[in-house]
């Protein structure tokens, strides 16, 4: 075990430094995520000073994003959303479609092919579930309970819509080595598998409800196994498959208990995930990607194609929430943006400059939206009941 000791020491040290940076960030009035990203940038191979073992951090981050999206899938409760905010059920999916069209159209005009443009559009359209949860639970939040529920509901509906669209785009656009027909058949087969798991798993969890260790092991292991099968056997990207496997548990009466027991793991892997994003930002590639970042193609698409569109749709849906806070709180790129950008880079649909710009947009949009959502708290007139 001695040869693994340096790796364990490094991971422990990175987590401790990240914890300190997160505390400093919160003390300064910005989200802890900003501190995690800064640590990743400091220990990356692209900046002077200490360089962390990138492969092992990336492996843990990849595992982390699977756990994160698996947990996000468990969060989905469409029946509750239907009871509380009916307008969300059409407004959030429509926002994903409109934002994808706006951001993807801008990328297409800028010279990307349709596949790369569609991936960028989807990356911009989807928010960070981890960040949204942190916004609603922050001690400094200024949102009211109704806005908190709308933020969470809108986010999970974004993910459901985005996963469906991403699966089709990846199947048709060459996100894998399989032909479109085989890729679509794989999606159908994976959907059947997920349905079977959704039927069987609740019955297993009921039997294990009083055995806390086995309950957690079976929940997590099932999610990882289904995600792995979806990726290896059916060609579904691992993170997207993890989200779908989380949906299977979401159908269980014990979903809330599974979610509660997964929360500590989610928080731990969220730290590693955001540190890993920081290690991937190459300032040299980012310099070449600045036009993508700042000239109306990423950040401007977030502002116009996402924040503004969300505000308008929330108004049309007559949601009884603080609509500016809702729109600003959703105004960031997140985990799916990172996953989709990595898939597009591997498929040579985008270059390293665009990839670096997307990673930077993730970091900047998270920092701006989580601070701005606390500031824009001017009371709005109560909407007239329909």
CATH assignment of 57-375?
Answer: 1.20.1530.10
What's the pTM? 0.81
What is the Cα–Cα distance from 258 to 73, expressed in whole angstroms? 12
| Distance (Å, whole) CA 205 – CA 54 | 37
Backbone torsion region of residue 29, taken as left when φ is above 0, otherwise alpha when ψ lies between -120 and 50, otherwise beta: left
Residue-wise DSSP of 35-88: HHHHHHHHTSTTSSS----HHHHHHHHHHHHHHHHHHHHHH--HHHHHHH-TTH
Query: How confident is the model over 154-195, as pLDDT tens digits?
Result: 988 888 888 888 888 887 775 556 667 777 787 788 888 888
pLDDT at residue 386 in the model = 44
Model pLDDT for residues 302-336, shown as the tens digit of each residue: 888 899 999 999 999 888 889 999 999 999 888 88
Question: What is the rounded distance in angstroms from the CA atom of residue 233 to the CA atom of residue 190?
Answer: 9
Q: If you average pLDDT over every residue of the chain, what do you get?
A: 79
Two structure tokens written together for 339: 């996953």
Write down the pLDDT at residue 345: 85
Task: Give pLDDT, residue 359.
Answer: 83
| Cα–Cα distance measured from residue 330 to residue 311, given in angstroms and rounded to the nearest whole number | 10
| DSSP 8-state assignment for residue 320 | S
Estimate the crossing angle of helix 32-42 against helix 352-375, to 10 degrees.
Answer: 150
Domains of the chain, residue spans: 57-375
């Amino acid at each position: 075990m001695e040869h693994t000791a340096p790796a364990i020491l490094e991971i422990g040290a990175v987590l401790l430094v990240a914890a300190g940076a997160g505390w400093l960030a919160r003390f300064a009035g910005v989200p802890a995520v900003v501190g995690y990203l800064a640590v990743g940038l400091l220990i990356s191979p692209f900046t002077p000073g200490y360089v962390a073992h990138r492969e092992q951090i990336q492996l843990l981050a990849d595992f982390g994003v699977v756990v994160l999206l698996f947990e996000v899938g468990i969060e989905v409760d469409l029946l509750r959303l239907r009871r509380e905010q009916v307008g969300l059920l059409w407004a959030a999916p429509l926002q994903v479609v409109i934002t994808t069209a706006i951001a993807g159209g801008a990328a297409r005009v800028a010279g990307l092919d349709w596949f790369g443009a569609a991936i960028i559009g989807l990356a911009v359209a989807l928010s960070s579930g981890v960040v949204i949860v942190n916004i609603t639970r922050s001690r400094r939040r200024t949102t009211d309970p109704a806005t908190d529920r709308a933020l969470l509901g809108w986010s999970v509906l974004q993910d459901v819509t985005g996963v469906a669209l991403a699966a089709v785009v990846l199947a048709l656009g060459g996100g894998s080595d399989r032909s479109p027909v085989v890729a679509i058949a794989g999606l159908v087969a994976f959907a059947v598998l997920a349905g079977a798991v959704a039927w069987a798993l609740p019955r297993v969890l009921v039997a294990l409800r009083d055995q806390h260790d086995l309950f957690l092991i079976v929940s997590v292991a099932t999610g990882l196994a289904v995600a792995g099968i979806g990726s290896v056997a059916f060609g579904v990207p691992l993170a997207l498959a993890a989200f779908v496997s989380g949906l299977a548990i979401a159908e269980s009466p014990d979903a809330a208990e599974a979610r509660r027991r997964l929360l500590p793991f989610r928080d731990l892997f969220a730290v590693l995930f955001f540190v890993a994003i920081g290690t991937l930002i190459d300032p040299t590639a980012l310099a070449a990607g600045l036009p993508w970042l700042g000239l109306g193609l990423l950040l401007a698409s977030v502002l116009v194609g996402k924040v503004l569109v969300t505000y308008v749709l929330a108004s049309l849906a007559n949601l009884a929430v603080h609509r500016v806070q809702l729109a600003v709180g959703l105004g960031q790129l997140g985990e799916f943006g990172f996953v989709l950008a990595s898939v597009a880079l591997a498929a040579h649909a985008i270059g390293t400059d665009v990839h670096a710009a997307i990673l930077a947009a993730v970091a900047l949009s998270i920092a701006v939206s989580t601070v701005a959502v606390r500031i824009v708290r001017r009371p709005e007139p109560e909407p007239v009941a329909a």
